[in-house]
């Protein structure tokens, strides 16, 4: 069943009186509960696409339907409510350095004016899920990169989202920590049934965690399907380049022994 349905999505940026077409008619369908990867070179439109999905960027035209709701048709007030169901994880963690781990995760719940006892219960539940119960009173400056990203994931989970958008979420992490974070995302997907959209240039991350994937080039989805199928027989030039590079650098010690390798 299609949970995210993107049709004919366009986005143009103006730069010094010059228009730059970044998304040129994106069509994409993601099933509910899937872990779906989107890969492309720098400048292909990956990050713009994910930011248009939750309207951090306003698309010029087209539609984004999530769980039957047309995100592109919502008013600002309606969008604010709907965004509670759409979590987002960034490469840069985006944590409040002056707040503890507990306070960072509790922040979106406080914005919703949730009762104090309910916040405590939910944050404790999230801390257990991300494996940071012992870090609840620590500050971001005391954490490793992987722990910081876990806090970012925890804050995203606080509002119990239906979908999580990951924009290069592991690009700043070392290989071992990347595997740990991907394992956490996989566990979240399995336990909570959350649909995950992984935007990345790291093909190894897609092979490790995703069931389906798409290749984006010059603002267009040029190939999509099962990860196994595209890895075995890529149909696009960009897909073939990515697979060739992946094969050249594949190293068992680097990628570990996880599922999908």
Q: Select 2-250's CATH number: 3.40.50.300, 3.30.1490.190, 3.30.565.10, 3.10.450.200.
A: 3.40.50.300
pLDDT band at 201 (very low <50, low <70, confident <90, very high): confident
Which DSSP symbol is given to 252?
Answer: H
| pLDDT (mean) for 173-178 | 87
Tell me the whole-structure pTM to 2 decimals: 0.88
The DSSP string of 159-210 is: T--SEEEEESTTTTS-HHHHHHHHHHHHHHHHHH--EEEEEES-HHHHHHH-
Separation of first and last alpha carbons in the chain: 27
Give the model confidence (pLDDT) of 111-155 as tens digits: 988 999 999 999 999 999 999 999 999 999 999 999 999 999 999
- Contact assessment for residue 149 and residue 130, using Cβ atoms and an 8 Å cutoff: no
pLDDT at 249: 62
Q: How far apart are CA 214 and CA 216, in angstroms?
A: 6
pLDDT band at 1 (very low <50, low <70, confident <90, very high): low
Q: Which of these ranges, 13-22, 133-142, 186-195, 244-253, has the smallest mean pLDDT? A: 244-253
User: Could you tell me the residue ranges of all domains in the chain?
Assistant: 2-250
Q: Which of these ranges, 15-24, 76-85, 123-132, has the smallest mean pLDDT? A: 15-24
pLDDT at 63: 96
Give the model confidence (pLDDT) of 224-235 as tens digits: 999 999 888 888
Among the listed residues 87, 95, 94, 261, the one whose alpha carbon sits nearest the alpha carbon of residue 178: 261
């Amino acid at each position: 069943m299609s949970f995210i349905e993107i049709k004919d999505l366009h986005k143009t940026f103006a730069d010094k009186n010059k228009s730059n077409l970044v998304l040129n008619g994106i069509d994409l369908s993601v099933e509910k509960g899937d872990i779906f990867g989107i890969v492309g070179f720098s400048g292909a439109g990956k990050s713009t696409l994910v930011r248009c999905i939750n309207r951090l960027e306003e698309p010029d035209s087209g539609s984004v339907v999530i769980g039957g709701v047309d995100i592109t048709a919502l008013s600002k007030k309606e969008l604010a409510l709907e965004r509670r169901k759409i979590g987002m994880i960034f490469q840069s963690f985006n944590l409040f350095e002056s707040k503890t781990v507990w306070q960072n995760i509790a922040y979106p719940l406080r914005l919703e004016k949730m009762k104090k006892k309910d916040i405590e219960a939910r944050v404790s539940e999230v801390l257990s899920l991300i494996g940071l119960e012992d870090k609840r009173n620590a500050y971001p400056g005391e954490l490793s990169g992987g722990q910081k990203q876990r806090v970012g994931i925890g804050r995203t989970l606080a509002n119990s989202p239906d979908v999580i958008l990951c924009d290069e979420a592991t690009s700043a992490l070392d290989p071992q920590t990347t595997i740990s974070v991907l394992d956490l995302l996989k566990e979240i997907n399995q336990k909570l049934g959350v649909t995950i959209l992984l935007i990345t240039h790291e093909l190894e991350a897609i092979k490790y965690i995703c069931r389906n994937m798409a290749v984006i080039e010059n603002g267009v989805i040029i190939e999509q399907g099962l990860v196994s199928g595209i890895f075995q027989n890529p149909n696009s030039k960009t897909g073939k380049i990515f697979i060739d590079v992946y094969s050249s650098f594949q190293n068992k010690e680097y990628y570990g022994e996880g599922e999908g390798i």
